[in-house]
């Protein structure tokens, strides 16, 4: 069946642009202001190349003005009655609905996505986020006791879902009592500016929401500004790494939602017609410009030929065309630089041996378009299987067994999302739990809701958007701002070391893979008290020792599949053995921290071991009920292997407090003990060895922290 053109009327959106004379400044303190440096840049319709408006290029001075306005508005916003904050969020949701068609058209002409996606997916979900978070201000004190808002939040959003990403970030930030400085992507700033207009319409207090437009330099100025208390970023992994480095020496809270290379795993018993529709939705939604796009197809060998033919037949029916046409399936790529990147990566994949198939569908004569593409014969190490293409390109591979499917799915540096297709509940749930991804859909894909947390790990970032988990990202413990900086107090009096040395020399070794081993360097470090008294010697670990420790920890990741009850029993056993040797360990520790603190560290260490053991089988997930016929199971799963650098002040208690909660949750650990007194390593190694702790779950490598980090 052929459909005639059904264009959406762009007149209301064009009229809104004309109202601002197609020239936009920054939105700071509730007012529109010209850029400090007087510079503007163009934003264009990617489907036609036509200029839409001139937008202010933000500088450090503009960012400073926005942060200053947000800081001034912070206290009044926080003391506002929770019910009144809720009313503002509710009003924003209503305004989004009232102006939904205008916002959908603006989103489409600025981004290039089909109007059906903007109208039917993005805008309703924007409103849903503000409605959902309008319910939180009056519940915060009861549901998050001992927590407070972070303060001034800097938010940087991408160009693929401009208004939806804005809602994901601004709604929970305002609900928690923060004020916001937001920088939209330079390719797609218009709906963020339209949202600023809505903020004025609902009477949102000046300075609560501030929007500064610009390129990457504007975002960089926001990240390093000292007046910002938290940074929330959605974008590429490369920029995420740079942001993490830039904030590493600050107290800024950080959440990152980065790239992905999500697998779609289709088993032979799957409903193939449903799987094909899921694949179409997973990779060709928004021209594949989605961080969680299902860009890797893993097919069981027995159905590979049949599924490929079905998929090709469905691709041949997809329509490329003007995004404002309601019959268009695939719109325009957002910018020429992105189109060139897609073409380059596909060419590299073909050079690596992949076979490229594209349907013979008409392509508009102007604009930035790329046909839906299927790559077969893809090797797991090919660039198209490992790199995020961010375009309408699907890389297909085959597998034979569920174990092989999991191995291929996890053969990625990313860990954002995945989907599993099978009519067997046992297979689907077992495989889903083993895939290293923050979100795994079963017999579906791209299911989002404000009540359900979304986010990844590995190179896909950390933190969550949406739900209780997402709201927690904008809160912090009340004590956090009052916490003193970590430092070693050299003036504290220490008990002198015993006058007589032991008859038999005590050799402290590294603890790797459940064994005490000598360091690769063959060197030892002297451990002295602040008065210069020699307390002992510890091994000087190096990069090879860290490598061995990480390898041992990786080989022990079966610890995560151990039942929570058994993990708790091991922690209780460690507490029992630590308590038995408490007097001996405290006496040895006294030379470094004093007799009183040494006794406290042993006593509190045993108490905390009991606490972590108690949590091991009680830190459970939840079941969300989104507003459609599905349930979302939120499972708390371990991160994997975690590196820990222990504090100096409390050699024993600091190590136990950082390492054992991770172990209780099913992680494996490589820890560098306190540089001030690493001799405690010998005692802990013996305690762990006698407590049924599997080898490799905890690995201790002493040495110079700066070298081992």
Catalytic sites, residue numbers: 257, 291
Q: Is 336 helix (H, G, I), strand (E, B) or coil?
A: helix
Q: What is the DSSP letter of 137?
A: T
**Pair 196, 33: CB distance under 8 Å:** no
Strand, coil or helix: 30: coil
Rounded Cα gap, residues 341 and 204, in angstroms: 41
CB of 54 within 8 A of CB of 39? no
> How many C-beta atoms surround the C-beta of residue 447 within 10 A?
16
Contact 383, 348 (CB under 8 A): yes
> 3-state secondary structure string, 61-75?
HHHHHHHHHHHHHHH
Q: Do 149 and 475 form a contact (C-beta atoms < 8 A)?
A: yes
Tell me the torsion sign for CA atoms 651, 657, 658, 663. Answer: positive
Contact 567, 532 (CB under 8 A): no
DSSP 530: T
- For residue 685, give the nearest of 567, 539, 544 by alpha carbon: 539
* b/e per residue 378-394 (b: at least 16 CB within 10 A): beeebbbbbbbbbbbbb
CA angle 512, 518, 519 (to 5 degrees): 85
Q: Distance (Å, rounded) from C-alpha 465 to C-alpha 369?
A: 30
CB 669, CB 642: distance < 8 Å:
yes
Q: Count of residues for the chain?
A: 709
First to last CA, the chain: 62
To the nearest 10°, the Cα dihedral for 237, 243, 248, 254? Answer: -80
**Cα of 123 vs its chain's centroid, Å:** 23
Element (H, E) at 86: helix 82-98
Phi, then psi, of 203 in degrees rounded to 5: 75, 25
Q: DSSP label at 454? A: B
Who contacts 426 (Cβ-Cβ below 8 Å, separation ≥6)? none
**Beta-strand pair 355-357/296-300:** unpaired
List CB contacts of 596: < 8 A, sequence separation 6 or more. none
Compute the distance between CA of residue 439 and CA of residue 632 in angstroms, rounded to an integer.
Answer: 10
Cα separation of 542 and 161, whole Å? 45
Q: Radius of gyration of the chain from Cα atoms?
A: 28
CA distance 128 to 530: 59
Q: Is 444 exposed, middle or buried (0-12, 13-18, 19+ CB in 10 A)?
A: middle
Q: What are phi and psi of 481, to 5 degrees?
A: -70, -20
């Amino acid at each position: 069946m052929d459909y005639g053109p059904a264009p959406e009327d762009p007149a209301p959106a064009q009229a809104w642009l004309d109202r601002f004379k197609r020239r936009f400044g920054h939105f700071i303190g509730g007012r529109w202001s010209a850029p400090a440096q007087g510079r503007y840049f163009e934003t264009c319709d990617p489907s036609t190349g036509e200029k839409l408006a001139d937008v202010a290029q933000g500088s450090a001075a503009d960012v400073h003005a926005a942060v200053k306005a947000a800081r001034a508005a912070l206290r009044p916003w926080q003391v506002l009655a929770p019910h009144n904050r809720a009313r503002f969020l509710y009003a924003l949701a209503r305004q989004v609905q009232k102006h939904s068609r205008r916002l959908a058209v603006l989103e489409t002409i600025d981004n290039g996505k089909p109007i059906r996606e903007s109208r039917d997916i993005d805008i309703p979900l924007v409103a849903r986020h503000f409605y959902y978070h309008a319910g939180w201000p009056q519940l915060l004190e009861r549901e998050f006791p001992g927590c407070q808002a972070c303060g001034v939040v800097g938010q940087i959003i991408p160009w693929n879902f401009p208004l939806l990403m804005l809602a994901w970030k601004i709604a929970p930030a305002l609900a928690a009592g923060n004020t916001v400085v937001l920088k939209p992507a330079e390719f797609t700033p218009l709906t963020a500016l339209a949202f600023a207009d809505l903020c004025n319409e609902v009477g949102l207090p000046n300075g609560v929401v501030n929007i500064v437009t610009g390129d990457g330099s504007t975002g960089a100025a926001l990240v390093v500004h000292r007046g910002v208390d938290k940074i929330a970023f959605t974008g590429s992994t490369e920029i995420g790494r740079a942001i993490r480095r830039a904030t590493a020496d600050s107290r800024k809270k950080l959440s990152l939602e980065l790239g992905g290379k999500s697998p779609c795993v289709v088993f032979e018993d799957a409903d193939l017609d449903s799987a094909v529709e899921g694949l179409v939705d997973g990779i060709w939604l928004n021209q594949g410009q989605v961080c969680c796009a299902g860009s890797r197809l893993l097919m069981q060998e027995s159905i590979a030929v049949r599924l490929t033919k079905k998929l090709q037949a469905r691709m041949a029916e997809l329509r490329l065309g003007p995004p404002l046409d309601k019959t268009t399936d695939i719109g325009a790529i957002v910018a020429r630089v992105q189109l060139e990147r897609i073409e380059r990566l596909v060419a590299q994949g073909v050079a690596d041996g992949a076979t490229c198939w594209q349907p013979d569908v008409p392509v508009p004569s102007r604009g930035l378009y790329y046909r839906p593409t299927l790559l077969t014969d893809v090797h797991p190490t090919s660039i198209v299987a490992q790199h995020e293409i961010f375009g309408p390109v699907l890389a297909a591979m085959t597998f034979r067994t569920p174990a092989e499917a999991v191995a291929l799915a996890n053969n990625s540096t990313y860990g954002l999302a995945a989907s599993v297709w099978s009519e067997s509940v046992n297979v689907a749930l077992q495989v889903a739990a083993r895939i290293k991804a923050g979100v795994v859909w079963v017999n579906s894909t791209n299911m989002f809701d404000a009540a359900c947390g979304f986010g990844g790990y590995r190179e896909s970032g950390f933190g969550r958007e949406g739900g209780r988990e997402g709201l927690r990202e904008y809160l912090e413990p009340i004590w956090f701002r009052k916490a003193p900086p970590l430092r070693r107090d050299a003036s504290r009096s220490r008990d002198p070391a015993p006058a007589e040395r032991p008859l038999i020399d005590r050799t402290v070794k590294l603890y790797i893979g459940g064994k005490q081993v000598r360091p690769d360097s063959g060197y030892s470090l002297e451990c002295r008290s602040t008065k210069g008294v020699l307390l002992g010697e510890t091994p000087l670990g190096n990069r090879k020792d860290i490598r061995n420790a990480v390898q041992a920890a990786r080989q022990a990741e079966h610890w995560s599949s151990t039942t929570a009850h058994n993990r708790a029993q091991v922690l209780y056993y460690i507490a029992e053995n630590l308590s038995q040797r408490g007097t001996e360990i405290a006496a040895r520790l006294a030379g470094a921290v004093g007799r009183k603190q040494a006794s406290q560290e042993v006593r509190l260490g045993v108490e905390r071991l009991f606490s972590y053991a108690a949590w091991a089988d009680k830190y459970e997930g939840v079941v969300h009920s989104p507003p459609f016929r599905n349930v979302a199971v939120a499972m708390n799963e371990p991160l994997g292997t975690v590196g820990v650098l222990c504090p100096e002040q409390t050699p024993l208690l600091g190590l136990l407090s950082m390492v054992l909660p991770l172990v209780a949750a099913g992680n494996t650990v490589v820890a560098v003990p306190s540089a001030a007194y690493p001799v405690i390593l010998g005692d802990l190694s013996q305690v762990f060895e006698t407590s049924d702790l599997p080898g490799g779950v905890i690995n201790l490598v002493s040495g110079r922290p700066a070298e081992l980090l």
